[in-house]
Structure 1
Amino acid sequence: MTVATPNHSFTATLQDLIEYPSSGILSKVLLKDNNSQYTLFCLAAGTEIEEHTSTRNAVITVVEGNGNLNLEGKDIALAPGVFVFMPANAPHALQAKENLAFILTLSEQVSRATL
């Protein structure tokens, strides 16, 4: 499911979209435009995402499940309702302790000069 135009409203019940694979990751792009992308990630328990970086700012909003995010060397517990902002180029890795679903929002890099 992808909505490619920013000029239309979009509504979804996230629990209805969550599907866990037997292993690994299932992702669904919910909305994408020229400036941002909203993707639902569903990780099977035990799945690990190796340390990496992104050229864009990112936000993780946990919908359900539990896991651990290592962001710039700091461990952050992931549980429903947790919101994490990750600046562009920040090293991060993730582990799903149990089935884990979250929305990953990618946005343009904000210049530190404007903050």
Structure 2
Amino acid sequence: MEQGGFIKKLPQAEVIDLRDIITVEEQQVSSLTLVQRPSLAMTLLSLDKGSSIGGHSSPGDAMVNILSGHARITIADKEYNVMAGETIILPANIPHALYAEEAFQMLLTVVKPDKKEVRISEKGSRA
């Protein structure tokens, strides 16, 4: 079936295995953006064994679904071993990093407040 709609680069109305969409490349971090909107991003990523994504933070909550392999994920100062089939939430504005204990693939979904939500929460905090 053809691609299109709101989720890009994937066929619609067809059963797929996301592990077949993004492959692990030797000594690389690879990514494929599926959705990019102000309040929502969905990205497939793959990291080869020994690769990493250094410490950073995001203004939104990030849900990491490990599709294959084994990731070591650091949130603040705590480490988590996340295996294929497992999911972890990386809280907004908290530093985190990822390291490939073995090659892994993941689906990353980041949800950020939209501008209206930010304005409401800012007003609420000033009251």
Question: TM-score per shorter chain, which class?
Answer: 0.7 to 0.9
Alignment partners' CA distance in 1, 2:55 and 2:5: 29
Structure 2 residue corresponding to 1:95, chosen from 83, 99, 110: 99
Q: Do the aligned residues in 1 keep the contact of 2:22 with 2:32 (CA within 8 Å)?
A: no
Provide the residue aligned with 2:60 in structure 1. 56
Cα deviation, residue 4, structure 1: 6.7
Question: 1:6-63 CA distances to partner (integer Å, 9 max, x unpaired)?
Answer: 6xx9464212213111112000112334431110100011002111111111110100
Structure with the bigger percentage of helix: 2
Question: 1:63-101 CA distances to partner (integer Å, 9 max, x unpaired)?
Answer: 000120011211100101111111211111111011110
Residues 1:17 and 2:21 are matched in the alignment: yes
Q: Do the aligned residues in 2 keep the contact of 1:69 with 1:93 (CA within 8 Å)?
A: yes
Provide the residue aligned with 2:124 in structure 1. none
Residues 1:46 and 2:50 are matched in the alignment: yes
TM-score computed with the length of structure 1 as normaliser:
0.81
Alignment partners' CA distance in 1, 2:32 and 2:92: 22
Structure 1 residue corresponding to 2:41, chosen from 22, 37, 61: 37
The percent identity for this pair of structures is 25
Q: Do the aligned residues in 2 keep the contact of 1:56 with 1:108 (CA within 8 Å)?
A: yes
TM-score computed with the length of structure 2 as normaliser:
0.74
RMSD value over aligned CA atoms?
2.4
Provide the residue aligned with 1:5 in structure 2. 6
> Where does structure 2 lack aligned partners over 5 or more consecutive residues?
122-127
- Counterpart of 1:5, as a letter, is F
Alignment partners' CA distance in 2, 1:4 and 1:31: 10
Task: Find the structure with the greater CA-based Rg.
Answer: 2
Q: Do the aligned residues in 2 keep the contact of 1:3 with 1:32 (CA within 8 Å)?
A: no
Count of paired positions: 109
Q: Do the aligned residues in 1 keep the contact of 2:24 with 2:48 (CA within 8 Å)?
A: yes
- Counterpart of 1:42, as a letter, is S
